[in-house]
Structure formats: C-alpha cells, structure tokens
Amino acid sequence: MKTQVAIIGAGPAGLLLSQLLNKAGVSTVVLERQTREYVLSRIRAGVLEWSTVELLRAAGCGDRMDREGIPHDGCYLSTAHGLFRVDFKERCGRQVMVYGQTEVTRDLYDAQDAIGATIIHEAADVALHNLGGDAPYVIYQKDGVTHRINCDYVAGCDGFHGVSRPTIPASVRRDYERVYPFGWLGVLSRTPPAADELIYANHPRGFALASMRNANLSRYYIQVPLSDTVEDWSDDAFWAELKRRLPSRFADTMKTGPSIEKSIAPLRSFVSEPMRWGRLFLCGDSAHIVPPTGAKGLNLAASDVHYLSRALIGACTAGDLSGIDSYSADALARVWQAMRFSWWMTTSLHRFPDQSEFDQKIQESELDYLARSDAAQTAMAENYTGLPF
C-alpha cells in the first residue's frame, strides 16, 4: 500500500490530523492498535479551548458539538478562604466548550467515514522504518498477515505508550518529567451536574473537581493516594468524600447515583524533545503528557495537529518544507506554556504528602491572591481558555 502520510494511532490527534489532511487532498492511512469500539469507549477529557472548537469546525466535524456542547463563561474555585468565580469572558473575552472527548472522537470517526478515509484497526506490531531517508515505510501485522505501507511522512499520534517516540534514538531525545505523588479517582454518573459551571476545590482532605458532560451526565474527580485502587472506593464512599471536599452550597443539593465508570489515573508532566526526527513527527500524547488539572491534554493534541497539518499540507501539495522544518519548535513553544499552566493548577490545588506548614501557607496565599486580583484572574482565564495558535 502507498500513501502520503501514515498516521499511527486513531485517538483525537490521529483522527483530526487525518481529517484535515484528507480535506486538503493529502492521502493518509491511519493504523490503530485497538478496535473502534474500544477507542470509542474511553472516557477522558471534557473541556475544549475555543481554538480547538474552531479547528474541529474547520475540519467539518463541529455540527453536533455546536448543538450539544455547553459553552462556559467561567468556573468556580473553592479554597480555605471560600468560594469565588473566575469569569473568563469578562477577563479575556473568551469561553470554553464543555464537550466530552468521547463525543469528539465519535464525530471525527463519522467525518472520516463520510469522506471514505482508510482507518485500519487491530494493527499489531507496528514498526517504523527508514525515517531518516527519503522513503519511509511502516510494517504491521493484521490477522496474522504482514503488511507494508510506503509513505512520504509518518505522524506518531499513538499516545504516551505508543511505538513512535521510542523509535527516536535515545541519543537524539531529551525527556523532561515530573511525576506527582497522587492520582485522580474519576466517576461518571447519570445525574444532573452539581453546579452550572465546573468547580475546582482545594480542600485539606485533597483536591476535588465537579465537571459535567450534559444536563444529565456528571463527571467528578477526587485526589487519592497512588496506593488506592478502584476496589477501595465504593460509590457511597466516593460520594461521601466528594461532598466533604466541595462547598456545602453545592454539596448539600448535589444528586448522587450509581457510577457508570470509575477509574484512577496517575498524574504526570512529561515532554520529549524534539517532536520531529527525519520524516517522523510526534503529535499529541506521544510527545507530552500534562496532569489533567488544567484540562489541557486534548487541547494540546489539537494545537499540535494545527501546526502539523499546515506543515504537511505545505510539503505534500506545494513542496514547501518551511512548516515541517519549524514544526517541532512551533509546537514545543505552546506545549511548554500549557505545561507551566497545568503544573501551576496542579501544585496550587492539590494537597502534597510532604507539604510543610510553610508550603501550605504559600499555597493559601497563591489562591487568596487569585481570589482578589484582577491581574491574576486574567492570567488564569487567558491560559485556561487557551493561548492562541
């Protein structure tokens, strides 16, 4: 088989890249390790920056998001000093869209089906070859048969545990990492959201977040020790702990119900540089991971896709190599801004096991300053709604 761009991974990065390239007349083949059903069953991010919203519209898959997504003008923060709201629209003129990653992925699959794109599922043992030369190729197994795809470029959109990043020699790569000493226990429930907007709560017992998917689907998280397992948390125990950490104004009226998904995710910040090696381009979680506190993971995948789609369209349709030459630097500049913001949200809102009384006072002062200062709220609003790309 021959294609211009072989895309490894059918997560949001791979599917959105494929969609934008196909629309511009660039051929792609997407190789995905899992089944389509598995990809569509993953519950992950829930908040889209406005630039992500606009990119999805430009890709021709924004109609359902525009009908069913919920634009939010701000969010609540709950701290030792009480509850306050940051009004994004007032501070920086922008909003975010609450629309689940599961729905984004479904819309992207539908759009890819509509234009007859090639997505191969259950592709095993994907291996990338000749990336430093002019004629890269990808080998994979499907149903016990070995296949080969010849291509001009390879996009590594295969997430943190994919094959693309490890293909870049260790001597070329530089990895930067921070692992946080706690995880998030997440619950999805068919209940009305606790509030009209998201609530980020800093509490002596640990962080909590009240989020939502729609008028009858809520997503909640609490900070838990890394040693905890899902089996340690019955639904009743989860609701009781969540209510303790949320402001009573919301906790007292909150509707609870059976969990329809429950999982624990570790938190880490990770960046691998560079994001290009020869004809291989890393995109999304394959190159970087953020802790979910700033809601940036999916949005960073979208900004990488923005830079990479423009670069590959220039190279494949006009022989213009300037975009592929600057891709890594362009993407990384924005990645590090989101890293900093996600790290700041995480360190400001969580309880760290080794937090000294001094650290505690500094954290309280940070949040107190945010509560009082227009400038601090503007900085948060600008970063939360997304720096431009």
Q: How far apart are CA 200 and CA 293, in angstroms?
A: 9
Contact predicate 170/158, CB 8 Å: no
Q: Is 156 in the site for ligand RFL (CB under 6 A)?
A: no
Q: Is 292 a catalytic residue?
A: yes
Taking CA atoms, 165 is separated from 154, 223, 289, in Å, by 12, 29, 13
Tokens for 44? 């992950």
Query: From the list 211, 286, 363, 377, which residue makes contact with ligand PHB (rule: CB under 6 A)?
Result: 211
Q: Is 295 in the site for ligand PHB (CB under 6 A)?
A: yes
* Residue whose CB is less far from ligand PHB, 75 or 154: 75
* Residue whose CB is less far from ligand RFL, 81 or 349: 349
Q: Which does 86 bind (CB under 5 to 8 A by kind): ligand PHB, ligand RFL, none?
A: none
Contacts of ligand RFL in 267-326 (CB under 6 A): 284-285, 292, 295-298, 301
Q: How do 5-8 and 153-156 pair as beta strands?
A: parallel
Contact predicate 32/120, CB 8 Å: yes
Residue located via tokens 């600057």? 326
Q: How far apart are CA 258 and CA 251, in angstroms?
A: 17
Q: Which stretch binds ligand RFL (CB under 6 A): 21-29, 39-47, 85-93, 359-367?
A: 39-47
DSSP codes joined into one string, 336-386: HHHHHHHHHHHHHHSPPTT--HHHHHHHHHHHHHHHH-HHHHHHHHHHHS-
Q: Which stretch binds ligand RFL (CB under 6 A): 29-37, 109-117, 343-351, 364-372?
A: 29-37
Q: How far apart are CA 314 and CA 350, in angstroms?
A: 43
Q: Report CA dihedral (214, 119, 34, 312) to the nearest 10 degrees.
A: -80
Q: Which stretch binds ligand PHB (CB under 6 A): 49-57, 127-135, 258-266, 290-298?
A: 290-298
* Residue whose CB is less far from ligand PHB, 219 or 288: 219
* Residue whose CB is less far from ligand RFL, 25 or 266: 266
Q: Is 183 in the site for ligand RFL (CB under 6 A)?
A: no
Q: Which does 193 bind (CB under 5 to 8 A by kind): ligand PHB, ligand RFL, none?
A: none
Q: Is 296 a catalytic residue?
A: yes
Q: Is 293 in the site for ligand PHB (CB under 6 A)?
A: yes
DSSP state, residue 152? S
- For 112, the 3-state DSSP assignment is helix
DSSP codes joined into one string, 48-110: EEHHHHHHHHHTT--HHHHHH-EEESEEEEEETTEEEEEEHHHHHS--EEE--HHHHHHHHHH
Peptide bond into 193 cis (omega under 30): no
Q: Is 384 a catalytic residue?
A: yes
Q: Which stretch binds ligand PHB (CB under 6 A): 43-51, 156-164, 305-313, 331-339?
A: 43-51
Contacts of ligand PHB in 85-114 (CB under 6 A): none
Query: From the list 159, 162, 292, 323, which residue makes contact with ligand PHB (rule: CB under 6 A)?
Result: 292
Query: From the list 46, 156, 162, 206, which residue makes contact with ligand PHB (rule: CB under 6 A)?
Result: 46
Choosing from 262, 288, 296, 306, the catalytic residue is 296
Query: From the list 16, 30, 31, 45, which residue makes contact with ligand PHB (rule: CB under 6 A)?
Result: 45
Please, what is the Cα angle at 306 between 303 and 308, to 5 degrees?
110
Q: How far is the CB of 152 from ligand RFL (least distance, A)?
A: 19
Q: Is 345 in the site for ligand RFL (CB under 6 A)?
A: no
Looking at beta carbons, which residue is closest to ligand PHB?
Answer: 46
Q: Is 200 a catalytic residue?
A: yes
- For 235, the 3-state DSSP assignment is helix
Contact predicate 87/380, CB 8 Å: no
Give me the active site residues, please. 72, 200, 292, 296, 384
| Binding residues vs ligand PHB (CB under 6 A) | 45-47, 198, 209, 211, 219, 292-293, 295
* Contacting positions for ligand RFL (CB under 6 A): 8-14, 31-34, 39, 44-45, 101, 123, 126, 157-163, 265, 284-285, 292, 295-298, 301
